[in-house]
Structure formats: C-alpha cells, structure tokens
Structure 1
Amino acid sequence: MVNSRQRFEGFRAAQKRADGYRGSMVFSETAGTDYLLRSYYDPKTGLRRQKSLGRRSAETEAIKAAFDAGRDEAEADLAAARAAIERQAAINRALGLGRVPDPGARILRALDAAGVLGHGLRVVGTNALFAYEAAAGIRFPVEVTTTEDIDILFDARARLAFSVEEDQDGRSLLALLRKVDRSFARTSAAFRARNRDGYLVDLIRPMREPPWKTEPASLAEHGGAPDADDLAAVSVEGLNWQENAPPFEAMAIDQRGYPTRIVASDPRAFAVHKLWLSTRLDRAAEQRARDLAQARAVGQLVASHMPHLPFDPKALKNFPRPLVEAAMMLFAAEPEAGFSW
C-alpha cells in the first residue's frame, strides 16, 4: 500500500505536468510573417483556442524549443509513471489488495480525470467505506461493503471546473459514464444510469430549504454543455449533513490492483448520517439494518484507527444535537470481530 501510494502520487504529479503541455506551439505564417502560436483548451468551454506569442525571433524560437523539450520530458516521465503503476497493479493483484469494485473505480477515475471529483461531486454510500478503510489500514467485513452501485453527491453550490482535456461534448455526467462504458444509459428515473451489466449510478443532492429553491440539477446545466439526457440529481432529505461535512480523501485499490482516488465526506458525518437513516421507517427493513451496521463499523474504525478525528460535537454541528448525542455510542464501542489488517 505504501508503494502504491508513492507511485500514485508520482503518477498524479507527472499527469499534472503533462497536462500543462496540452495543445501545441507552432510557427504559422500570416501576411508573410511568421508568428508563434500557442494552441490550448479553454477551461470554461473545453474549446480549442489560439494565442499569438509574437513574431519569429530568437526569443520566440527559444520559447518554442523550451516548450518542445519540456513536453518531451513530461511525456517520458508520464510513460515511466504509468509503467510503474502497471507493475504495482500486478503485485497488488497477486497480494489480493483489491477492494473497490471495478465499475465504480473506473467511474471515479473518469470523474477525477475530468476535474470534478472533489469539486462539486463526492462519493456517498457504501463506496465511501473503501476510502475510510484504506486510510485506516484495515478491512471492513464483506457484509458491509458489498455493492453493485455507486451514489454520487452533487453540490450545485460548488464551481465546476472541467479539466482542459475535456471537450465540449464530454461535459455531462452521462457523457463521462459513457467514456467508461458505452452501454450506460439513463433509466426512466432521471437521476439514475445503468449499464448492460446492471451496474447503477445515482446522482443525488440535498433537499433545499425552501423546497422550491431552484439550482442546477445536472452537470450539463452547471458549467457543462447542453445535454437534455444528462442525469438530473434527485433531492434527498438529510444529505445536507454530508454535503456540509469536510471532504475526506484517500487512495484505495480496485479489484484489478489499480489505485483509485476517492473523495467522500468526513467519516464521522457518514456514521451519524447512517445512524439517522437506520431509524427512518420509510426505508426497507434490510436497508435500515445495513445502515446501522455501516454506522457502527465506521464509528468503530474512527475510534480505533483515526485518533486525529475524535468524536467532537463541534465537528458535527450541522447535525441536530439529539442525533449527535445518540451517535456517541458509535464512537465508544470496542471493535467487533470482522475487522482485518
């Protein structure tokens, strides 16, 4: 895991540097004079733009030479970083370190590459547990982590900033999902997409007060590109608690051995929210039982393995006081059998 984190950090650094060289730098003749043109992608629209850096001269030729040399070096570094990730993934598979289901991991990497993971979108629900356990160096029992879907929380208050590699046609959640698997399609429920294997993606958002308050419901509406078929987030009561919680980021390993960045909510907020869900009579009995099991598992993990995140009512001030007081027992219990290292 230590090696995987180090190599993933190296890969992300190499990727960021290579991204800085996207586009091109060429001399182009206009009215008999050569000009140095820098082509780039507009971060707001994803469209390709050009900017003149001046007439051909010793200075502009040096600028182009430095750009070409820097791009070649960045591409070589990125190729080496990818190769290191591939070697590490093989080791991780052999050691059985993979935890994150492959479909969800691919989706998370697509959101991360697009620049929206942690910037308007975060993971809630069962997949968040893979971030918590990876950060703590333990494994939850399988009965609380089994999942065939992924819940994505959409915070319309955040400013979406798609990465420069995303063209105008790739700036919706459904378009990003189809880059992962072309079979993804929106279901009759506008907030949900399903692929041919039955894997589900739900886009959800908090219920606002007052309920009729308007805000963008999709990535396409909020800084993306027009897409009438994009997923439209459904409003869910209680999600404002996770939305307002500090983000929690960790690198986990997927079932194929590859690193996956996950951005979720503070695990304390996750546990308290799940405890609240376990009391909701509008949820099925098996859902409430799973909610309670997950609340207990995450509470025990925080208490035993995350001393930097103590149970502090001030850190949970967005929750109703009675709920925070009821959740105190989650963070005081001894770890149950089922955790493994």
Structure 2
Amino acid sequence: MIFSEINKNQSRILIDTIQLYNVYLTAYDKSLSYKGGMHWKKSKGKEYLFKTINRNGNGKSLGPRSSETEKILSQFKKGKKTAKESLKSLKRRLTEQSRFCKAAKINHVPKIVTKILRILHQKKLLGKGLIVVGTNAMYAYEMAAGVYFDFSIMATQDMDILWDIRPKLTFLSNNKSKNEGLLGLLREVDKSFEQFKPDSFRAINKDGYMVDLIQAEPKSIVTIPPKRMGNENDICAAPVRNCQWLLSSPKITQVIIGEDGFPSIMVVPDPRAFALHKIWLADQIDREPIKKKRDLAQGLAVIKLIMNYLPQYSFEMSELKMFPKDILKKIQTKISIDDIPSEFKVE
C-alpha cells in the first residue's frame, strides 16, 4: 500500500492543531511589533519618547513629551503585556495539544526537521527565498491530502533546502555582525551542526543528520550567483540542474506535525512539479541507480496522491508551463497507463 488514510479522530486532532498553530503564528507576528522598548530620554533639558529596536540601544525618537506621546507609551506597554501573555498562553496550549498529537500518532515528521523549519519561519526566510524540496516535501503533500505515505519511500537522513536567489534575504539574526547565514541558523537549532567539509553545500550534526543547500543551475555561464547566504564560514549552495522547474511552480504552505507533537510550517513546490521532476530525475544517466528507483517511486506516489485526494491540481498542459514540452513528453513515456492522469496529454 502506497498510503493510508488518517482516521476521524486523527483528522479532528489535526484540524484542531492546525487552527491553534495558525492562531499562535498570528500572535507571534503581532508580538514582533512590540520588540524592543520605549522610555523617556533627556536631551538638552527636554524629555523625548525613545523607541529602541535592538539590544544595542539603537532606535528613534517619537517626539517630545506630551499628552500624545504619553498615550503612545501607555498603549505600547499595555499592548506588549497583552501580547506577551497571549503568546505564553498559546504556547501552553500547544504543549497540551502536542500530547494529543502523539497519542493520535499524527506526529510523523522528524523533530530536527520541524525545529529547523520553525527557525526559518521565525526569521522570515521560509517561502521568501527558501523552500523544502526532496523527500521531506512529501510530508506537506500527505498532510494536505489527509493520508500517510508508506514509510519505505519516506525514510531519509537529510533535508534539502532550495535557495531562490531572486529575492534578497534579510536575516533576523541574534548576532548580525557574524552573519553566519544558514549554518548559523542551524546552530540555533543544534550547536553541533558543522560544514561537512570546507566549502561544502552540506551541514551535518553530531547525529549524522544532514542539511543540503542547493540552488538552480544558472542559465548562462556568464551569470555567477551568490554561493553563500552568510559569510565565508557558511555552507555553499550546490547548483542543481533544472531546479528552476520547482522554483517556477506555485508554492504550497502546509502545517506539519513533528515527532514531539509540535507543529511547524513547511513551504514546498506544487506537488505536480515535485512529481514530474522526480520522474525526470529517475531517468538521468548520472543519477545513482538506487536513487533512481526511489525517485520514480516517489514521483508516481505523489501523482497517485493527487489523482485520489488532491483533484484541484490538474495535469492540464496549461497548468504545467514550468516544464518544457519536450521534457513533458519524455516524462509521459515513463508513466504507465494505469498511473497516468487522464488529462496529462502532451501533443
């Protein structure tokens, strides 16, 4: 069996968890507007309301002391207190909900994956320059469909992160002067993360879990894309052929549940793009044979998932413009009559 459907109890708990987590994310974003502090600051014999924006004391003046600035300070203090209490309450509820998730056995995603995703989301990088590709993306597709894929095609000890270099990434780091890029963020999750070797595209932790940073191969040899998100100590993105198909596809944002019962956001390519790219990958001469079999199995599994549970994703040619027609023709020959969507007709 390729996948199994979640039961009614699992569905109920999953829906409750997703709703609660979305409320938490809204509260978290709101709390960011109260980051820093406000206080009165004297200058040349006058008091001014000063808003600090970081730990170094940097900020700006909001004007001299008046009934209006006193009101601003009062509202800020009240709002900050309310936001802090709300966030604390929601964190407590998420902790309680995590126990239900574990009891219902909907906690399938490796904890290291959800922890990395949470830090990327908090730093405003997930979906705004970084997306998840590879095997881990299938966790988002199965959650969207309300099923679980068979473990045999899901087991992996690495996480592939695709870097879209088009948007400029802004790091919300605790130590901006170091600018350690992706490796620095991974170390916020697990301090043992190190480069696999100098100038590697891979980071690895003490448990052997690997995070690979990849980017689309440039279309022109004249174009030299940035290799690192951070300084010279950061991992280097590896150029991968035809990743632009994944970058050009629509993106899906899905809540997933970690092994510890805590949710996170995952942003992935359109499942059709994922499936067709996997089938294409399985046909490449330079691909390792053992990976080819897995690529094909995963691509076909996602196609079946779409056909059975996600009918909103049509395989009409107008929906697959991110792929060249000649590539679609080759992919079509690799799918059996029983597995091919009826509308997938390349002429």
Whether these two folds match at TM > 0.5 is yes
1:26 paired residue number: 39
Secondary structure of 1:310 counterpart: coil
Partner of 1:224: none
246, 252, 256: which one aligns with 2:250: 246
Q: Could you tell me whether the CA contact under 8 Å between 1:311 and 1:331 is conserved in 2? A: no
Please state how far the C-alpha of 1:251 moved relative to its aligned partner: 0.5
Kindly report which structure 2 residues correspond to 1:311-322, keeping only aligned pairs within 5 A, or say none.
311-322=315-326
Partners of 1:173 and 1:164 lie apart in 2 by 10
Identify the residue that residue 333 of structure 1 maps to in structure 2: 339
The residue type equivalent to 2:123 in the other structure is A
CA distance in 2, matches of 1:47, 1:248: 37
Distance, in Å, in 2 between the alignment partners of 1:186 and 1:194 is: 6
> How many Å separate the matches in 1 of 2:91 and 2:154?
29
TM-aligned CA distance change 1:75 to 1:81, over 3 Å: same
Partner residue, 1:338: none
SS at match of 2:264: strand
* 1:36 partner letter: L
* Residue 226 (structure 2) pairs with residue 216 (structure 1): yes
TM-score (norm 1): 0.90
SS in 2 for 1:219: coil
Alignment partner for residue 266 of structure 1, among 263, 270, 278? 270
- State how far apart, in whole Å, the 2-side matches of 1:334 and 1:265 are: 20
Higher alpha-carbon deviation: 29-38 or 10-19: 29-38
1:262-282 per-residue CA deviation (whole Å, 9 max, x = no partner) reads 001000000000000110121
Relative to 1, partners in 2 of residues 1:330 and 1:163: Cα closer, same or farther, differing over 3 Å?
farther
Instruction: Write out per-residue CA displacement over residues 1-41 of structure 1, whole angstroms, 9 at most, x where no aligned residue.
Output: 00001100110011011011001110011222111001115
- Partner of 1:27: helix, strand, or coil? strand
For residues 76 and 27 of structure 2, what CA distance do their matches in structure 1 show? 16
Aligned partner of 1:66 in structure 2 is 75
Q: CA deviation at 1:168?
A: 4.2
Alignment RMSD (CA, Å): 2.0
1:46-95 Cα distance to aligned partner (Å, 9 max, x none)? 97631111111111111100000000001111111111111111110111
* 1:193 maps to 2:203: yes
Alpha-carbon contact 1:272-1:295 (below 8 Å) kept: yes
Residues 178, 171 of structure 1: alpha-carbon distance in 2 compared, 3 angstrom cutoff: same
Q: Which residue of 1 aligns with 2:121?
A: 112
Of residues 18, 22, 40, the one that matches 1:5 is 18
Count of residues in Structure 1 that have an aligned counterpart in Structure 2: 325
Matched, 1:202 2:205: no
CA distance in 2, matches of 1:130, 1:168: 35
How far apart in 2 are the matches of 1:317 and 1:334?
18
| Distance (Å, rounded) in 1 between the aligned partners of 2:168 and 2:307 | 34
Q: Counterparts of 1:1-341 in structure 2 under 5 Å?
A: 1-41=14-54, 49-163=58-172, 167-169=176-178, 172-188=181-197, 190-220=200-230, 227-328=231-332, 329=335, 333=339
For structure 1, the residue ranges without an aligned partner over 5 or more in a row are 221-226, 336-341
Greater Cα shift, 316-325 or 275-284? 316-325
- Cα contact 2:218–2:225 (8 A) shared by 1: no
Offset of residue 333 of structure 1: 2.6
d(CA) in 1 for partners of 2:121 and 2:142? Answer: 20
- CA deviations 1:205-244 (Å, max 9, x no partner) are 1111113411212212xxxxxx211111011112111111
- The letter of the residue matching 1:231 is I
Give aligned-pair identity as a percent: 35
Q: Tell me the CA shift for residue 132 of structure 1.
A: 0.3
AA of the residue aligned to 1:72:
K
Distance 1:207 1:145, change over 3 A: same
Q: Taking structure 1 as reference, are residues 47 and 314 closer, same or farther at Cα in structure 2, changes over 3 Å only?
A: farther
3-state SS of paired residue (1:139): strand
State the SS of the aligned residue for 1:183: coil
What stretches of structure 2 of length at least 5 have no aligned partner? 1-13, 342-347
| Alpha-carbon distance in structure 2 between the residues aligned to 1:191 and 1:175 | 14
**Which AA in structure 2 matches 1:120?**
G
**Residue 171 of structure 2 aligns to which amino acid in structure 1?**
F
What secondary structure does 2:148 align onto?
coil
